[in-house]
Chain A
Amino acid sequence: MNDWTDTEGRNGQEDRQALIRIENMGKTYDTGAVQVAALKEVDLIIRQGEFVAVMGQSGSGKSTLMNILGCLDRPTSGKYYLEGIDIGSRSSDELSLIRNKKIGFVFQSFNLIPRTSALKNVELPMTYARIPFHERHRRAMELLQKVDLGDRMEHMPNELSGGQKQRVAVARALANDPPILLADEPTGNLDSTSSGEIMRLFTALNAEGVTVIVVTHENEIAAFARRVIRFRDGKMISDETGGGHYAVD
């Protein structure tokens, strides 16, 4: 599974199963006149198979953390290792490749490609992974069936309900079988029924071994996670394990 032999883990044995290791990481935005510190001195380890909720008010730094965890952005200080790879030293094309193989994104506003069928949307990450047409077609159908959209494959995003769109997005996130599922307010635009569906889907995927990280400000959503990390003013203020009240049926 690990394509990168670059293992710089210093704590050897202990961190072998650390999927994500963040050491004294900070992110500062240079807005010209002032420097805004969005994240300060973050230390975090997330292991394979965890279900983590990241919580905080807007401006707490949770979105910045999300962008860095998703390899969309680089830290300005400290280190971020994903499967032992130092993300800060990678080029933007290398980050594209890492995102493609290692991270499945689920966004608040679904972010499906417009005027492109559900099937084509799910195929897209596999297209960029240069997977041959027939294989990606077969896998995309399989994934859509898995999220209960077997009868909506040829539908365009504007022909789908919010909950259906988000399920297409989940199927797309799983396309290249990534170890991490990163969801940013995945239920923010959904009614409670659809929200429940999506969260149960996450729980089921987590049970299959996928590491799920959900950014949210809703306690009901965070309650699905076994570990809740809270942020305020760019700092991690708490890290609690022991949640997960909602078990899979």
Chain B
Amino acid sequence: MLWIENMKMALLAIRINKMRSFLTMLGIIIGISAVISIVSIGDSMRGVIADQFKNIGVNRAMIYVSFVDDRRESDLFTLDELEKVKDAFPKEIVAIDPSSSEDAELTRGRKTIQVALEGVPGNYSDVQPLDMVDGRMINAGDLAAGRNYVVLKKETAIELFGKAQASGETIRAEVSGEPSELTVVGVYEKEATPMDALFMGSTPVAYVPYTSLVSTGDYFFALNFYIAEDIDYNVFKSQVVGLISRMKNRTADQISYNSAQEEMSMADNIMQGMSLAVGAIAAISLLVGGIGIMNIMLVSVTERTREIGIRKALGARTRDILIQFLTESALLSAAGGLIGTLLGIGFVMIGGAVAKIDVVIDPMVVLIAVAFSAMVGVLFGILPASKAAKADPIDALRYE
């Protein structure tokens, strides 16, 4: 019964000083919206990173000899060695390639386009499925025969041929200054998000059998492979590192082994740590907001000293006055919290729509933020409210 009255009185007090109430709430509004948007952005970024790694291939790993001072030619790999590694792990390694990629100019008629040629293994479509809009992906036969086949991105095909159905067409290519002729066997489609541009660059990728970039006798820097999903990952890692170190006559710590899995969890940890740290800084603004509320409530109590005296004379008990002012400060900061929450969610939604990423808003974070802001209100309301409640009615009535 009395709390309804208290609620009404608090609303009245907030309404009477609209501008002041709003400015007081602003601290909480900014704090809450900052915490919510920062934590949500962090969560969303983690999602984006996970997606990005899925694109690259979560099971992908790369091995090479580290950049040591006494670098020697035998630190590089040959295709024979690639076959040896593949044969050593028939079960564990699903696909392997020499991690070869070259910038190339593709020309047809007067049109020339810059692409990144990526050398892929014969069973690439098994490990990294692509959306084919025409023809087929490079296969094992192409690889074994060393055919000069290419799979283009849809946009590249349309630009060169005016259509996506470009299979069978031929184009001239210039790779590292050497001209060659490539036959299109397929066209793939891939929707790019702004994040892809950020991570991958904007040069379209064209796929060729790796044998067309690396021939027997050529040296290359690293082995790129895809690991089977149902193996003991750590055992495999130490085995493959052991094999390479023996093969290259290097110690195990001179071998670099990068896996998407490890990088992903590392990036995830960094993101999580970052959003936690920035979130904590944003939480400090909540504290500042709370102090703002305390300050204004103290002013309000002083302004209303006489009113407090009247209320006490009419029979208000210490607790009645305490609750009246606590209600006011809690309402003030809960309203700020609510507005801040809506604003924070709004920011995240708009940001997500603009960046075309799936935003993640953790309801737990929202709940904690609102509960925290109400708590801030009560906590920082205690001092002013108890000051009001303890006022002596005679002194308060005399207050001018």
Known contacts being A73-B394, A93-B318, is A124 close to B311, with CB within 8 Å? yes
Say yes or no for A45: interface residue by CB 8 A criterion. Answer: no
Across-interface contacts of B311 in A (CB, < 8 A): 113, 124, 128
For B390, give the chain A residue with the smallest CB separation.
A92
Say yes or no for B316: interface residue by CB 8 A criterion. Answer: yes
CB distance from B308 to the nearest CB of A (A): 10
For A70, give the chain B residue with the smallest CB separation.
B313
Option from B2, B307, B315 in Cβ contact (under 8 Å) with A96: B315
Q: Is the CB of A115 within 8 A of B315?
A: no
Secondary structure dominating the interface of B:
helix
Known contacts being A127-B2, A130-B1, is A111 close to B312, with CB within 8 Å? no
Say yes or no for A237: interface residue by CB 8 A criterion. Answer: no
- State which residues 67-125 of A face B: CB under 8 Å: 67, 70, 72-73, 92-93, 96-97, 99-101, 105, 107, 111-116, 124-125
Say yes or no for A4: interface residue by CB 8 A criterion. Answer: no
Known contacts being A72-B394, A115-B12, is A129 close to B310, with CB within 8 Å? no
Say yes or no for B198: interface residue by CB 8 A criterion. Answer: no
| Interface band, chain A | 20 to 34
CB distance from B395 to the nearest CB of A (A): 10
Across-interface contacts of B1 in A (CB, < 8 A): 130, 132-133
Option from B5, B310, B319, B320 in Cβ contact (under 8 Å) with A113: B310
Across-interface contacts of A105 in B (CB, < 8 A): 313-314
Option from A73, A100, A116, A133 in Cβ contact (under 8 Å) with B315: A100
Say yes or no for A21: interface residue by CB 8 A criterion. Answer: no
Say yes or no for B317: interface residue by CB 8 A criterion. Answer: yes
- Complex Cα–Cα for A61 and B306 (A): 22
CB distance from B320 to the nearest CB of A (A): 6
Say yes or no for A167: interface residue by CB 8 A criterion. Answer: no
Say yes or no for A172: interface residue by CB 8 A criterion. Answer: yes
Known contacts being A114-B307, A130-B2, A132-B1, is A96 close to B317, with CB within 8 Å? yes
Across-interface contacts of A124 in B (CB, < 8 A): 311, 314
Q: Is the CB of B394 within 8 A of A96?
A: no
Across-interface contacts of A125 in B (CB, < 8 A): 314-315
Across-interface contacts of B316 in A (CB, < 8 A): 96, 128
CB distance from A113 to the nearest CB of B (A): 6
Known: A72-B393, A93-B319, A128-B311. 18 other contacts (CB 8 A): A70-B313, A73-B394, A93-B318, A96-B315, A97-B317, A99-B315, A101-B315, A105-B313, A111-B306, A113-B307, A115-B12, A115-B16, A125-B315, A127-B5, A128-B315, A128-B317, A128-B320, A129-B315
Contacts A/B (CB < 8 Å), 21 sampled: A67-B394, A93-B317, A93-B318, A96-B312, A96-B315, A97-B315, A97-B317, A99-B313, A105-B313, A105-B314, A107-B397, A112-B310, A114-B307, A127-B2, A128-B314, A128-B316, A128-B317, A129-B315, A132-B1, A133-B1, A176-B315
